[in-house]
């Protein structure tokens, strides 16, 4: 189909009602399962080949049009006696959870929080963080989620940008915001101890070794000023509020502001609605992964990232699972968490599995209880994926690594692998109510199957926009001929005829040489990563000092411990591997062996740190310099 006819078809489809669109999806499913015969075109957004993996009932399912709080209550109101949260051995039932949410909602209202007010919440995964999230949804306010490990300057920036005059923060980081209450920017601060909900015995001793060192109660050290109170006083004050707390549901009302990581540019505040949070949770259930109320879920992803609040918290709780809160996650102790809690479900970033497969503590452990070892948030190296799958199989787990794809701007997730299409290197198929396709970068010109282009997404997960940043919003969120708003992700990839999505690289990571050749770092990483001695590899762009413009690839390599004594020989082997498997223009001009790769606070590879590191040394000429920095 030519470009003009395709646009006309999309314009025609834009006039379909919700019911007609659902009926068309059911028709497409029958085409792809060969129940009926009919025409298809070489266009993923029109054909939707992934629908063959979904049942008719899954396709018919409507997304919840209610607040995140209401959806949580709807799903669990008949199961109030079941455990909702587990926190260092303390069990909190759904009945207790809803009581605490109401208690917190009253305290917020008593503090003066009104509908659409923005309250900054800077908390790790504690029960209080959960109460706050759902209480904000209940009263119609907006949670400005901020990582407490952010620099004081960064936290101030997020607070000032959102004009948030009320802050709730873990007490060990109180001093980062104290000044804002003294200069009038903030009028109320609630400092929360992570020991607040510990079982009595642990709270008295306050010696939970997993996080005592980094999250210890500092209220005795930090002298609170007149604008500050602790959690207990905050709750006591709420008892004076006697009016109704729950507000009427308003479609597309903002619920949270999540800040992008800033690993590829300036962080932005991503505004997400109740519907966004509900949609990512329900669509995850509709992937067909076995998720049941009787299961448990290890929650190691914090609520100050979209991936954590939508899939790490709201998903398991709306299913009714026991959700195990881990406030301070140490990837090196991931194995201990598996042994202690035996989680059936968990989500994390790929680097966490790099520690698991090397664990001596898990050497003889049975992991057959794991159903969904899920990764997202960052690209997973194919070698690591294969190693993780082998590790799971050797430990009696019948599941493979479950992969997904997403970004903050789409509430953390829009695709997932199912048993039938869990291909190595793929990030799965689109969620049932989500459409993903490939376009020429920056345009509406849709490409066919197996052709690399910019990954674009439309569906109920896409953000409302960047907070008070219309220019940036318009640059990424565009209305196409089909009448739908599409997120232009900046990721390069392709879709196969069966609907499987493959991400090649970030457009921003792509480097262009002085002679115009385009180099994707992921291709080089894949080749180097295939060497048996390589544990991890990341390639970054460095300036070409031999030309006025252009970038060249440099490989940062981490070797497995057993191979570190043989660096010089391995260096030669890696050079030979690149020479035989990569085009001449894509050959790395420099290699650096290092003990580890820098990570962001949530465990993603910090590309900017690597690039900044290299910007402080002499640039490399396009004449190949095959060196090894020790």
Q: Which residue has the tokens 């996080």?
A: 211
Helix or strand (DSSP H, E) at 73: helix 68-76
Which of 197-211, 354-368, 496-510 shows the lowest per-residue confidence on average (mean pLDDT)? 197-211
Q: Show the beta-strand stretches assigned E in 244-396.
A: 254-259, 269-273, 296-299, 322-325, 345-348, 372-375
pTM score of the predicted model: 0.84
Query: What confidence score (pLDDT) does residue 131 get?
Result: 99
Q: Is the pLDDT of residue 628 over 50?
A: no
Q: pLDDT value at position 218?
A: 44
Mean pLDDT of 212-217: 47
459 contacts 79 by C-beta, under 8 angstroms: no
Domain match, 86 and 143 both: yes
Asked whether residue 83 falls in the same domain as residue 224, the answer is yes
pLDDT in tens, 46-57: 999 999 999 999
Check whether residue 444 and residue 536 sit in a common domain.
no
Distance CA 298, CA 343 (A): 6
Average pLDDT over residues 345-372: 91
Q: DSSP letter string over 435-490?
A: EEEEESTTSS-B--TT--EEEEEESTTS-SEETT-HHHHHHHEEE-TTS-EEEEEE
pLDDT beyond 60 at 265 = no
Is the same domain home to 452 and 593? no
156 and 12 within one domain: no
Q: Show which of 202, 227, 250 is a domain's final residue.
A: 250
Domain that holds residue 120: 66-250
Of 462, 495, 494, the closest CA to residue 480 belongs to 462
Is residue 214 within 8 Å of residue 171, measured between CB atoms?
no
Q: Are residues 523 and 572 in the same domain?
A: yes
CATH number reported for the structural domain that contains residue 83 in this entry: 3.40.50.12780
| Residue 407 predicted with pLDDT over 60 | yes
Question: What are the structure tokens assigned to 18, written together?
Answer: 């919700």
Non-local (6+) Cβ contacts of 178 within 8 A are 189, 222, 225, 228
Residue 544 DSSP one-character state = B
At 203 the pLDDT is 58
Residue 202, Cβ neighbours under 10 Å: how many? Answer: 16
Residue 507 has pLDDT above 60, yes or no: yes
pLDDT of residue 594: 94
Tokens of 394: 């050797």
Taking Cα atoms as reference points, which of 314, 279, 315 lies closest to residue 62?
279
Q: Do residue 469 and residue 611 come from a single domain?
A: no
Distance CA 458, CA 473 (A): 15
Q: Is residue 357 part of a domain?
A: no
Same domain, 59 and 108: no
Highest mean pLDDT range out of 206-220, 382-396, 449-463, 592-606? 449-463
Report CA Rg, the chain: 25
Tens of pLDDT, residues 435-474:
999 999 989 999 999 999 999 999 999 999 999 999 999 9
The total number of structural domains in the chain stands at: 3
Q: In the structure encoding, which two tokens stand for residue 120, read together?
A: 């900054």
pLDDT one-digit tens code per residue, 170-190: 999 999 998 888 888 999 999
Residue 300 lies in a domain: no
pLDDT band at 401 (very low <50, low <70, confident <90, very high): very high
pLDDT for res 204: 52
- Distance between alpha carbon 108 and the CA centroid of its chain, in Å? 28
* Residue 525 belongs to some domain of the structure: yes
| Statement: residue 283 has pLDDT above 80 | yes
Is the model's pLDDT at 212 over the cut of 90?
no
**What is residue 442's predicted lDDT score, i.e. its pLDDT?**
83
CATH number of the domain that residue 604 is part of: 3.30.300.30
**Residue 462 domain-assigned?**
yes
CA within 13 Å, CB half, 164: 26
Q: Is residue 269 part of a domain?
A: no
pLDDT higher than 90, residue 381: no
* CA end-to-end distance (rounded Å), the chain: 55
174 within a domain of the structure (yes/no)? yes
Which pLDDT tens digit goes with each residue over 538-570? 999 998 888 877 889 999 999 999 999 999 999
How far apart are alpha carbons 165 and 149 in whole angstroms?
Answer: 20
The reported pLDDT for the residue numbered 1 is 77
Q: What is the mean pLDDT of the chain?
A: 90
SS3 389: helix
- Residue 374 falls inside a structural domain: no
Q: What is the pLDDT of residue 627?
A: 44
Q: Could you tell me the pLDDT band of residue 379, with boundaries at 50, 70 and 90? A: confident
Whether residue 55 sits in one domain with residue 74: no
Of 250, 284, 309, at which residue does a domain stop? 250
Q: Are residues 130 and 225 in the same domain?
A: yes
177 belongs to a structural domain? yes
Do residues 131 and 10 share a domain?
no
CA 596 to chain centre: 23
612 and 571 inside one domain = yes
What integer pLDDT is reported at residue 540 of this predicted model? 92
Taking the C-alpha atoms of residue 126 and residue 146, their distance in angstroms, rounded to an integer, is 14
Kindly report the CATH number assigned to the domain that includes residue 452: 2.30.38.10
Burial letters 108-136, b for 16+ CB under 10 A, else e: bbbbebeeebbbbbbbbbbbbbbbbbbbb
| Residue entry with tokens 């001093």 | 175
Give the domain-ending residue among 505, 531, 562: 505
Q: What is the pLDDT, as a whole number, of residue 625?
A: 35
């Amino acid at each position: 189909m030519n470009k003009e006819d395709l646009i006309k078809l999309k314009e025609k489809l834009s006039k379909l009602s919700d019911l007609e669109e659902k009926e068309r999806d059911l028709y497409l499913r029958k085409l792809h399962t060969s129940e009926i015969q009919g025409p298809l075109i070489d266009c993923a957004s029109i054909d939707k080949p992934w629908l063959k993996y979904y049942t008719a009932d899954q396709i018919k399912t409507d997304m919840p049009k209610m607040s995140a709080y209401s959806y949580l209550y709807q799903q669990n109101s008949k199961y109030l006696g079941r455990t909702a949260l587990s926190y260092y051995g303390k069990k909190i039932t759904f009945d207790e959870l809803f009581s605490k949410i109401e208690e917190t909602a009253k305290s917020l209202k008593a503090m003066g929080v009104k509908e659409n007010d923005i309250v900054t919440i800077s908390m790790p995964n504690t029960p209080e963080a959960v109460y706050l999230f759902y209480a904000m949804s209940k009263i119609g306010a907006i949670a400005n989620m901020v990582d407490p490990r952010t620099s004081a300057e960064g936290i101030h920036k997020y607070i000032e940008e959102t004009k948030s005059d009320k802050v709730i923060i873990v007490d060990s980081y109180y001093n980062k915001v104290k000044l804002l209450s003294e200069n009038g920017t903030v009028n109320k601060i609630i400092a929360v101890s992570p020991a607040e909900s510990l079982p009595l015995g642990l709270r008295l001793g306050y010696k939970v070794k997993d996080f005592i060192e980094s999250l210890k109660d500092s209220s005795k050290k930090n002298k609170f000023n007149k604008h500050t109170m602790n959690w207990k006083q905050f709750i006591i004050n709420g008892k004076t509020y006697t009016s109704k707390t729950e507000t009427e549901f308003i479609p597309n009302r903002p619920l949270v502001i999540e800040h992008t990581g800033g690993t590829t540019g300036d962080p932005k505040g991503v505004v997400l609605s109740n519907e966004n949070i509900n949609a990512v949770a329900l669509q995850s259930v509709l992937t067909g992964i076995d998720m049941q109320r009787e299961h448990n879920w290890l929650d190691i992803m914090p609520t100050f990232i979209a991936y954590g609040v939508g899939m790490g918290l709201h998903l398991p709780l709306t299913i009714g699972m026991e959700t195990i809160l881990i406030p301070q996650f140490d990837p090196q102790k991931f194995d201990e968490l598996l042994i202690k809690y035996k989680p059936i479900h968990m989500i994390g970033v790929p680097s966490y599995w790099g520690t698991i497969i090397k664990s001596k503590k898990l050497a003889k452990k049975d992991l057959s209880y794991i159903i969904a070892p899920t990764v997202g948030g960052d690209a997973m190296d194919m070698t690591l994926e294969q190693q993780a799958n082998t590790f799971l199989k050797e430990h009696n787990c019948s599941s493979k690594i479950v992969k997904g794809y997403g970004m903050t701007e789409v509430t953390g997730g829009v695709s997932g692998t199912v048993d039938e299409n869990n291909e190595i290197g793929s990030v799965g198929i689109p969620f049932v109510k989500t459409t993903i396709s490939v376009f020429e970068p920056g345009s509406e010109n849709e490409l066919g199957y197996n052709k690399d282009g910019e990954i674009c997404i439309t569906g109920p997960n896409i953000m409302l926009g960047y907070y008070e940043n219309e220019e940036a919003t318009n640059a990424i969120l565009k209305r196409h001929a089909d009448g739908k708003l599409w997120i232009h992700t900046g990721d390069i990839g392709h879709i196969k005829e069966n609907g499987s999505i493959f991400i090649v690289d970030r457009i921003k990571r792509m480097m262009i040489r002085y002679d115009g050749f385009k180099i994707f770092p992921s291709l080089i990483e894949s080749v180097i990563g295939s060497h048996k001695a390589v544990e991890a590899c990341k390639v970054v762009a460095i300036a070409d000092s031999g030309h006025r413009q252009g970038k060249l690839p440099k490989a940062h390599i981490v070797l497995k411990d057993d191979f570190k004594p043989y660096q010089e020989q391995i260096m030669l082997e890696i050079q030979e591997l690149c020479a035989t498997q990569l085009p001449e223009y894509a050959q790395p001009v420099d290699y650096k062996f290092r003990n580890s790769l820098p990570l962001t606070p949530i465990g993603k590879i910090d590309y900017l740190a690597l690039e900044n590191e290299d910007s402080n040394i002499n640039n490399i000429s396009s004449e190949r310099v095959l060196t090894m920095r020790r």
